[in-house]
Structure 1
Amino acid sequence: MPSIYENRFFTVMAVFEVAPQQQQELIDGIADQVEEHIKKFPGFVSASFHASDDGRKVVNYAQWHSKESWQKAPQAPNSDKAKAAIEGVIKRCEAKSVSGDSFSFRVARVVENEL
């Protein structure tokens, strides 16, 4: 479950454009690889997938314990397999990365409603 706190986790966001009929396939395909491989990588916290109402965009919001753990992810076991599988899903769904690469962020401020 994602936890959003100021200066607690390192956040990476990737934005994709996709045909509406392939939006869910893109989400499921990437999420399956995260479930199978990436969630086992040291420092991984969570991945959330956001689907635009028009069906044309997907945002992947991923949290890591630190920037260093995210940068070391390509050295983790099965990282090549996961990367190749994710690239295959993106190609099969004819999705385009809006950002070219992922954007990285830190949570600078959070405003919450008290429940």
Structure 2
Amino acid sequence: MTSQDSNLPFSQFVEFMVDPRHQSGLVTALNERFERFTRTYPGFIRASVHVSEDQQRVLSHVLWQSKSDCEKAFENAEQGEGDLWGLIRAHRTTAMTFNAYELVSETVGPR
């Protein structure tokens, strides 16, 4: 499997640094954004939000059917979802890290 294979599942991660007092508001805003916009795009599989034990970091994870689906959704998001930077300012995010990964293997538990 190589990164040129556009049919592999693709993950988008964003880690937000936030004051613990604003963490729950950011979580709510991200979940609302995923429900209202992200889940409507073709190729969307799932989204999740995680908080660190110290509540100073919030990690969002969106899984797409392919890198191409992720890129198309990102283009559409810039035009129709509203101001991501405004959301970040509203919840006083101090830093963000964007990462993207291609799924190459996974192990699942018994069903």
1:31, distance to aligned residue in structure 2 (A): 1.4
Number of the residue aligned with 1:109: 105
Alignment deviations for residues 7-38 of structure 1 (CA, whole Å, 9 cap, x no partner): 85110101010011111110111210111112
Q: 1:74 to 1:109 in 2, by over 3 A?
A: closer
Match of 1:21? 21
RMSD between aligned alpha carbons? 2.0
Q: Which one-letter code corresponds to 1:44 in the other structure?
A: F
TM-score under structure 2 normalisation?
A: 0.81
Q: What residue number does 2:96 align with?
A: 98
Deviation at 1:104, TM superposition (A): 0.6
Aligned-residue sequence identity (percent) comes to: 23
Q: What letter matches 1:11 in structure 2?
A: S
The unaligned stretches of length 5 or more in structure 2 are 1-6
Size of the aligned set, in residue pairs, is 105
Check the 8 A contact 2:44/2:65 in 1, yes or no: yes
Query: Which stretches of structure 1, 4 residues or more, deviate above 6 A after TM superposition?
Result: none
Structure 1 position 62, deviation (Å): 0.6
Secondary structure of 2:35 counterpart: helix
Structure 1 unaligned blocks of 5 or more: 1-6
* TM score, norm. by length of structure 1: 0.78
